[in-house]
């Protein structure tokens, strides 16, 4: 056997292995999820929780009618950056009603009494949660958004906000504008789609929340 041919084959083998390693490394790094950025809690987190604070914000116990506005079925999971699901965490949301008013004494005017304005859910074994709420609307100075807070044993509290993808006002919202990183900004954008199979005239969307390493007590 020509020794040069043997060396050539060995060189090809090692070169191939090197290419495999180099190509695998970026893929591994790409698999890491983007941590959901912190956002301000805002001035309208409830002073006291409503008696009815379940995950259906469109029906308030004791109210005969459903809240005004477009229904939204909101799904998601709470995960680590390595995509590990986090079970047993409390997910809170709060938002204004269809007229742009919060259930809060500091807000202007009276909010829709048929809208809860605040709700809670607990993540399941796969990290999932679900809310039935309103498609968020704008009010003076803010693009449509929903406030979120995640807390529980073994994690630090994350407060953030969810935004509607494609809203023209997103480009001028001062709170959203504080997120400079494009990937982090994209992570709080949710595309909404018609969901006639879930509720006539309603929408659906998915907002996965990723807790960064600094929030995990591992």
Measured in whole angstroms, how far is the alpha carbon of residue 169 from the centre of its chain?
A: 19
51: CB partners within 8 A, 6+ apart = 61
What average pLDDT does range 36-42 have in this prediction? 97
Q: How far apart are CA 122 and CA 127, in angstroms?
A: 9
CATH of domain 32-215: 2.60.130.10
108 pLDDT tier (thresholds 50, 70, 90): confident
Which of 106, 102, 128, 109 lies closest to 50, judged by CA? 102
Q: What is the tens place of the pLDDT at every residue in 75-104? A: 999 999 999 999 999 999 999 999 999 999
Going from N- to C-terminal start, the domains of the chain cover 1-31, 32-215
For tokens 């994690």, the residue is 155
Share of the chain above pLDDT 90, in %: 81
Looking at the predicted structure, is the pLDDT value of residue 46 above 80? yes
Measured between alpha carbons, how far is 96 from 112 in angstroms, rounded to an integer? Answer: 9
Range of weakest confidence among 28-42, 119-133, 163-177, 201-215: 28-42
- CA quadruple 25, 29, 30, 33: dihedral, nearest 10: 160
The confidence band for 32, taking pLDDT boundaries of 50, 70 and 90, is confident
Higher per-residue confidence, 197 vs 109: 197
Mean pLDDT, range 206-215, rounded to an integer? 96
Weakest-pLDDT range from 20-29, 61-70, 72-81: 20-29
């Amino acid at each position: 056997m020509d020794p040069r041919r043997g060396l050539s084959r060995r060189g090809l083998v090692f070169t191939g292995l090197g290419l495999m390693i180099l190509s695998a490394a970026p893929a591994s790094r790409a698999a890491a999820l983007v941590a959901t950025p912190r956002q301000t809690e805002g001035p309208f987190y409830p002073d006291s929780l409503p008696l009815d604070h379940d995950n259906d914000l469109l029906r308030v116990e004791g109210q005969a009618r459903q809240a005004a506005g477009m229904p939204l079925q909101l799904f998601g999971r709470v995960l680590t950056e390595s995509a590990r699901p986090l079970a047993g965490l409390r997910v809170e949301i709060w938002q204004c009603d269809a007229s742009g008013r919060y259930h809060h004494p500091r807000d202007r005017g009276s909010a829709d009494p048929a809208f809860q304005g605040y709700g809670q859910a607990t993540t399941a074994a796969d990290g999932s949660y679900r809310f039935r709420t309103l498609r968020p609307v704008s009010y003076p100075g803010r693009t449509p958004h929903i406030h979120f807070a995640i807390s529980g044993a073994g994690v630090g509290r994350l407060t953030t906000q969810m935004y509607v993808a494609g809203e023209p006002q997103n480009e001028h919202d001062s709170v959203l504008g504080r997120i400079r990183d494009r990937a982090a900004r994209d992570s709080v954008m949710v595309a909404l789609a018609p969901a006639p199979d879930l509720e006539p005239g309603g929408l659906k969307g998915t907002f996965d929340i990723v807790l960064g390493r600094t929030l995990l007590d591992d």
